[in-house]
Amino acid sequence: MKKLVIFDMDGLLIDTERIHDWSWEEAFKRSNLDIPTSERQTLMGLGHSHYMNQIRKLVGDDELADDVRNIQREIYHGYFRENKPDIKAGVVELLLELRAKGVVTAVATSTRQASAEAYLRSVELYDLFDYRIYGDLVVETKPNPALYNKVVSDLNISKENALILEDSYHGVKAANNAGIDVIWVKDFVDISNRNDISYLHSFDSLVEARETIMEIVDNYDMKEIVELIRAFIKERDWDQFHSPVNLAKSISIEAAELLECYQWSDDADVEKVKDELADIMIYALQLTDKYGLDIETVIIEKMRKNALKYEVSKAKGNSKKYTEL
Ligand SMILES: [Mg+2]
């Protein structure tokens, strides 16, 4: 399961990347520089600490790079002095749904604190995040993993329990570098042809991504389920009643209750069957846990034994016990 969802800002929460790209296009044009679109777009998602190097690479001259950067800044900030950024579709709904589930929400952006906070407040997203971190508060911005590493360490949440949402190549790369699961939500630059990054899923918008994000958030693995059961018992101080023999009896009692679902009819109420199955498995997991065993290993080992006892060539289509095969 995921306890934390980390959002990128530009191009994911707010529609700034388009203006950003346009401001570069304009700045290059005004400086009489002919930079192809694909090269210009290598600037997307880069933080300030990587920015100047990439611009110098593109224009080939340090002084000129500074000049173009100043022109671009003026165009970009000039635009946002006059206009509020547009919020991307589905952002608010997703944040509210995650928070209602108790999932921690964070924003991690390469943009500097002053600008980023102004944007987040202007679209009323600021208060929907439990945690915020900005590009000028870490040593290196994306694709360096520093921003993401700081989120999980400050919140004391393990990387396995975190999920990142990103729109840019450099952002996905930063998530990969941090070793945290990431979903790529497309903004307007296609990065599907980049083969040095990986992501769990890709979507055209957060609206389309919502269902999968919620499924991933809710997807508990077996260890997390055992943790859940342990916590439930500890809170109620019930461990004193759960000796191995009590648990073994309980499994059998719950199995009988499962059978009761079929007492007068071959068609049981599936809702009742679900409950009884859950009870059987919860007690079985508790008993496994009592002996310090790992349920997945226990099942896999027994499946291997079963496969040896019931060779396909002898057992196929046959219900006899292995001793009679
Ligand atoms: Mg972005």
What is the biggest distance separating any 2 CA atoms in the chain, rounded to whole angstroms?
88
Q: Is there a single domain that holds both residue 214 and residue 271? A: no
Q: Compute the distance from residue 21 Cα to the ligand 1 centre, in Å.
A: 12
Specify the pTM. Answer: 0.80
pLDDT value of position 44: 84
**Domain housing 120:** 4-13+86-218
pLDDT digits (tens, 9 = 90+) for 22-64: 999 999 999 999 999 999 999 887 876 788 899 999 999 999 9
Q: Compute the distance from residue 12 Cα to the ligand 1 centre, in Å.
A: 6
Q: Which of these three, 53, 82, 111, is where a domain ends?
A: 82
Q: Compute the distance from residue 32 Cα to the ligand 1 centre, in Å.
A: 28
Listing DSSP states for 194-243 in one string gives -TT---SEEESSHHHHHHHHHHHHH---HHHHHHHHHHHHHHHT-GGG--
Listing DSSP states for 244-304 in one string gives HHHHHHHHHHHHHHHHHTTSS-SS--HHHHHHHHHHHHHHHHHHHHHTT--HHHHHHHHHH
Q: Compute the distance from residue 240 Cα to the ligand 1 centre, in Å.
A: 52
Q: Which of these three, 197, 218, 239, is where a domain ends?
A: 218
Provide the angle, in degrees to the nearest 10, between the axes of the packed helices 270-290 and 295-309: 100
Q: What is the CATH number of the domain that holds 273?
A: 1.10.287.1080
User: What is the number of domains present in the chain?
Assistant: 3
Nearest alpha-carbon partner for 17 in 144, 114, 119: 119
Q: Compute the distance from residue 171 Cα to the ligand 1 centre, in Å.
A: 6
Give dist(CA 176, CA 199) in Å, integer.
8
Q: Is there a single domain that holds both residue 112 and residue 182? A: yes
Rg of the chain on CA atoms, in Å: 27
Q: Is there a single domain that holds both residue 100 and residue 72? A: no
Give dist(CA 306, CA 66) in Å, integer.
71
Per-block mean pLDDT, blocks of 10 residues, the chain (325 long): 96 94 95 94 80 90 93 94 94 98 97 95 97 95 96 98 96 98 94 95 97 95 93 97 98 98 96 98 97 96 95 91 87
Q: Compute the distance from residue 8 Cα to the ligand 1 centre, in Å.
A: 5
Q: Compute the distance from residue 274 Cα to the ligand 1 centre, in Å.
A: 43
Q: Is there a single domain that holds both residue 62 and residue 91? A: no
pLDDT value of position 46: 80
Q: Is there a single domain that holds both residue 203 and residue 227? A: no
Q: Is there a single domain that holds both residue 8 and residue 148? A: yes
The answer to whether residues 29 and 130 touch, using CB atoms and an 8 Å cutoff, is no
Q: Compute the distance from residue 34 Cα to the ligand 1 centre, in Å.
A: 25
Q: Compute the distance from residue 197 Cα to the ligand 1 centre, in Å.
A: 15
Q: Compute the distance from residue 48 Cα to the ligand 1 centre, in Å.
A: 13
Give dist(CA 72, CA 70) in Å, integer.
5
Q: Which of these three, 34, 61, 82, is where a domain ends?
A: 82
Q: Is there a single domain that holds both residue 136 and residue 212? A: yes
Q: Is there a single domain that holds both residue 48 and residue 21? A: yes
Give dist(CA 264, CA 260) in Å, integer.
8
Q: Compute the distance from residue 252 Cα to the ligand 1 centre, in Å.
A: 54
Q: Is there a single domain that holds both residue 24 and residue 102? A: no
Structure tokens at 185: 């939500």
Residues 6+ apart with CB under 8 A from 142: 45, 46, 47, 50, 110, 168, 170, 171, 173, 174
pLDDT value of position 55: 93
Q: Compute the distance from residue 190 Cα to the ligand 1 centre, in Å.
A: 13
Q: Is there a single domain that holds both residue 112 and residue 207? A: yes
Q: Compute the distance from residue 111 Cα to the ligand 1 centre, in Å.
A: 10
pLDDT value of position 132: 98
The answer to whether residues 185 and 169 touch, using CB atoms and an 8 Å cutoff, is no
Provide the angle, in degrees to the nearest 10, between the axes of the packed helices 62-82 and 48-59: 120
Q: Compute the distance from residue 221 Cα to the ligand 1 centre, in Å.
A: 30
Give dist(CA 310, CA 234) in Å, integer.
41
